């Protein structure tokens, strides 16, 4: 069985059949390939005989496999048997750990997103935080597998982790490991609108979304619109992303994925039946919204079904196929096999999806965007796959709107502006004037996202 990933978190779709691996090795001269394999064997033999202490050949070979895969791009990986098992557990919607989706790049272990309600989220860990030490030992240079192993442990035990955040002092947090039962969809009534939070995309998301929407419509039959919150949603199953998009669409393409060959194109389209009955929708995104989240945001934006509010998304637009080795007994390979494209034909790889109304949640977040070297995104990876359309992610800039220093820090300014957009019927020219304490960088209606990219004819991340 092979699995397709859009990893920003873990995005996966079960598929049957092959990936077309035959003939790939033939592209490298056979004699040179054999020579390099012999070199690998020679190096392993020297290490085994000459290294200062005895070595574990199995660990060395697994490390070599991991290095080979990560040399391709940040999302291609070798998963040892235990890592493959954990991946399957995560996509089922329940796992044990501290509730973090992490990755490694440039010798740093970084947080893609904390899981809603998990130990890390409750401790205030945020997307983009850097893990500097675990149990007093430096995390610098650790791989995702190594950092994950240190964060893992029996339920009820604790782990001491130090986090770094731009502009703040290092913060040491003690996290108690627990079973993370992922409630992927939650919702509530906010005045005349419904608020729906999707924290991840797993096997239960589509069903949970239907249940939440039904409940909200029963509680308030005269709802006037919905906010769909995808902030800090690191991704999930491709099938779930398609189903969530479909819930708000009557027709049209949701996403396409295109592989190495011109004929390797898969398209996913909506079926009739909008669960909201056509009510206005605002989608909240930020730089922690990745892969499957970007599929949903891109589909609803391109189909003119929703207005996007927040900050430019992560920019994860590639697809990984997970191929079990020896039926999973030897682990699996997660290898990039395609890019995905929004309905308008745009790749968002390394670029992200720009909101229609750019709004920072806080003054601190606005400062991070103004110094984009601190914004954690796909473009930050040195080995990231190119966008394929020649476009680039927007550089350092001051967001269009941001709360000032005197704004009430307990309020969620992005959510407040999302409700303002709904009250304006999605017409940004009719948007209410920002309240006192908010900094606006330019007068008038904010520009729409950059649509001038010509159309072309979803680091290993694990939750702990």
Residue 261: phi, psi to the nearest 5?
Answer: -100, 150
Q: Is the pLDDT of residue 368 over 60?
A: yes
Least confident range of 103-107, 286-290, 376-380: 103-107
Domain ranges of the chain: 2-83, 94-181, 185-316+338-458
CATH architecture of 94-181: Roll (2.30)
- Tens-digit pLDDT profile for residues 134-160: 999 999 888 777 888 888 788 899 999
Report pLDDT for 222: 97
Report pLDDT for 329: 87
Q: Is the pLDDT of residue 15 over 80?
A: no
Report pLDDT for 443: 56
* Cα–Cα dist 270/235, whole Å: 20
Q: Compute the half-sphere exposure of residue 304: CA atoms within 13 Å on the CB side of its CA.
A: 2
Report pLDDT for 94: 59
Least confident range of 89-93, 240-244, 297-301, 316-320: 89-93
Across the chain, mean pLDDT equals: 84
Which whole number is the average pLDDT over 223-237? 93
Q: In terms of pTM, does the model score above 0.85?
A: no
| CATH value of 185-316+338-458 in 3.30.70.360, 3.30.200.20, 3.40.50.300, 3.90.226.10 | 3.90.226.10
Q: Is the pLDDT of residue 90 over 60?
A: no
Which whole number is the average pLDDT over 361-389? 81
Q: Is the pLDDT of residue 282 over 60?
A: yes
Report pLDDT for 55: 95
Report pLDDT for 424: 95
- Model confidence at 14, in pLDDT bands (50, 70, 90)? very low
Q: Which one-letter DSSP state was computed for residue 214?
A: H
- Tens-digit pLDDT profile for residues 32-77: 889 999 999 999 999 999 999 999 999 899 889 988 998 899 888 8
- Tens-digit pLDDT profile for residues 312-354: 999 999 988 888 998 888 888 889 999 999 999 999 999 999 9
Report pLDDT for 234: 87
CA-only gyration radius of the chain, Å: 22
Q: Is the pLDDT of residue 17 over 70?
A: no
Q: Active-site residues: which are they? A: 291, 302, 316
Instruction: Report the share of the chain in percent with pLDDT over 90.
Output: 50
* Cα–Cα dist 213/210, whole Å: 5
* Cα–Cα dist 288/234, whole Å: 6
Q: Is the pLDDT of residue 179 over 90?
A: no
* Cα–Cα dist 44/226, whole Å: 59
């Amino acid at each position: 069985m092979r699995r397709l990933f859009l990893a920003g978190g873990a995005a996966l779709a079960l598929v049957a059949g092959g990936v077309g691996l035959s003939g790939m090795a033939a592209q490298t001269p056979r004699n040179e390939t054999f020579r390099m394999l012999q070199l690998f064997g020679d190096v392993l033999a020297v290490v085994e005989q000459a290294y200062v202490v005895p070595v574990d050949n199995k660990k060395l070979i697994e490390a070599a496999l991991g290095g080979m895969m990560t040399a391709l791009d940040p999302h291609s990986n070798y998963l040892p048997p235990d890592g493959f098992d954990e991946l399957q557990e995560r996509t089922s919607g329940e796992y044990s750990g501290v509730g973090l989706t992490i990755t490694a790049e440039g010798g740093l272990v970084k947080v893609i997103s904390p899981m809603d309600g998990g130990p890390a989220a409750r401790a205030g860990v945020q997307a983009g935080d850097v893990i500097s030490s675990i149990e007093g030992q430096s995390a610098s240079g650790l791989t995702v597998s190594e950092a994950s192993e240190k964060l893992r442990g029996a339920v009820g035990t604790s782990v001491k982790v130090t986090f770094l955040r731009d502009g703040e002092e290092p913060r040491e947090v003690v996290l108690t490991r627990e079973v993370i039962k992922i409630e992927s969809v939650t919702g509530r009534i906010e005045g005349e609108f419904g608020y729906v939070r999707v924290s991840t995309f797993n096997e239960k998301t589509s069903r949970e979304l239907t249940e939440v929407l039904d409940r909200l419509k029963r509680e308030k039959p005269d709802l006037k619109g919905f906010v769909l919150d995808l902030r800090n949603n690191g991704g999930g199953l491709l099938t779930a992303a398609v189903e969530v998009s479909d819930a708000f669409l009557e027709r049209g393409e949701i996403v396409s994925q295109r592989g190495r060959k011109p004929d390797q194109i898969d398209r996913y389209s909506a079926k009739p039946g909008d669960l909201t009955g056509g009510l206005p929708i605002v989608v909240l995104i930020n730089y922690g919204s990745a892969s499957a989240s970007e599929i949903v945001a891109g589909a609803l934006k391109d189909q003119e079904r929703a207005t996007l509010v927040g900050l430019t998304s992560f920019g994860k637009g590639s697809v990984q196929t997970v191929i079990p080795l020896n039926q999973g007994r030897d682990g699996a390979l997660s290898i990039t096999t395609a890019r995905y494209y929004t309905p308008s034909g745009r790749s968002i790889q390394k670029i992200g999806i720009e909101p229609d109304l750019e709004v920072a949640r806080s003054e601190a977040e606005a400062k991070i965007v103004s110094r984009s070297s601190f914004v954690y995104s796909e473009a930050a990876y040195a080995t990231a796959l190119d966008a394929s359309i020649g476009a680039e992610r927007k550089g350092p800039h001051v967001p269009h709107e941001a709360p000032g220093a005197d704004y009430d820090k307990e309020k969620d300014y992005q959510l407040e502006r999302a409700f303002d957009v709904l009250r304006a019927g999605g017409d940004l020219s009719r948007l209410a004037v920002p309240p006192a304490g908010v900094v606006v960088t330019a007068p008038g209606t904010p520009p729409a996202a950059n649509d001038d990219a010509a159309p072309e004819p979803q680091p290993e991340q694990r939750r702990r």
